[in-house]
Each structure stands twice: as structure tokens, then as C-alpha cells.
């Protein structure tokens, strides 16, 4: 079970229905880091973790800025030299959207990874 893909799909469906709040369960550390990155970039509003005694869930306030969001499967390895190939594959235009990548320095956006000259594995895209 891919908790990241389930969470992103729940957000996408809630956004398409025009809802202002999305519930995502089960919660995970990777999903929390991705939500922090999306919040920092302005794609979502505030979110909070609700402990239900099991795996927990996230309550996310949506601001209507997500056109498409999804997990990338398989998790492609990306080196410093191959960023542009994946940008054109998953994003609609150069400079539009965000690729989330897991690196040795943590989960970050593709632009931050390019600036730090590190590679990693692609997790998801959003625009």
C-alpha cells in the first residue's frame, strides 16, 4: 500500500470537487514532509495531524491552486544531469509546477536539489 499515492489522490479528488478540506489517512512521515513542502510553496493551506489511535490522519485545508497532483511510480532515480528530462515529462512547462524528490539531504523540490547539486528519487509532481 502506497500511503503517499493514496494521500495525494485524496487531495486531488477533494480539489476537483471544490472542497476546502481534505482528510488523508493513513498518515506517514514521508507524506508529512511532502505536505510541508507543498505548504511552503503555497499549494495548500494549513494542515494538522489527528491521532486516531491507529495510524492517524491529516486534515488539510485546500486553497484551490492544485490543477494536478500525483505520485510517480516507479520512483525514478535522478542524477544532476537528468533533471530536464523529467521536468518535461511530468510538468506542463518549464518553471511551472514542482517535482518532489527524496535525496540524501532530505525531501525537497527539484529546484532546491538542482541548486544543491544532488540527485535522488522522484516521489511526486504537482502543478
Beta strands in the chain (DSSP E): 21-24, 44-50, 57-62, 69-71, 77-78, 98-103, 106-109, 120-126
Q: Which domains does the chain have, with CATH numbers?
A: 3-62 (3.30.1370.30), 69-126 (3.30.1490.10)
The one-digit pLDDT tens for each residue of the chain (127 residues) are: 799 999 999 999 999 999 999 999 999 999 999 999 999 999 999 999 999 889 999 999 999 999 999 999 999 999 988 999 999 999 999 889 999 999 999 999 999 999 999 999 999 999 9
Are residues 47 and 5 in contact, defined by beta-carbon separation less than 8 angstroms?
no
- The model's pTM is 0.92
Amino acid at each position: 500500500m502506497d500511503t503517499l499515492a493514496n494521500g495525494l489522490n485524496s487531495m486531488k479528488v477533494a480539489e476537483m470537487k471544490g472542497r476546502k478540506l481534505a482528510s488523508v489517512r493513513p498518515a506517514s512521515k514521508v507524506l508529512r514532509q511532502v505536505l510541508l513542502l507543498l505548504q511552503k510553496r503555497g499549494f495548500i493551506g494549513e494542515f494538522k495531524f489527528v491521532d486516531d489511535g491507529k495510524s492517524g490522519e491529516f486534515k488539510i485545508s485546500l486553497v484551490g491552486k492544485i490543477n494536478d497532483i500525483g505520485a510517480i511510480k516507479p520512483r525514478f532515480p535522478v542524477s544532476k544531469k537528468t533533471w530536464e528530462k523529467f521536468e518535461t515529462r511530468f510538468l506542463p512547462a518549464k518553471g511551472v509546477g514542482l517535482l518532489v524528490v527524496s535525496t540524501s539531504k532530505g525531501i525537497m523540490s527539484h529546484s532546491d536539489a538542482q541548486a544543491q547539486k544532488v540527485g535522488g528519487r522522484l516521489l511526486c509532481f504537482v502543478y
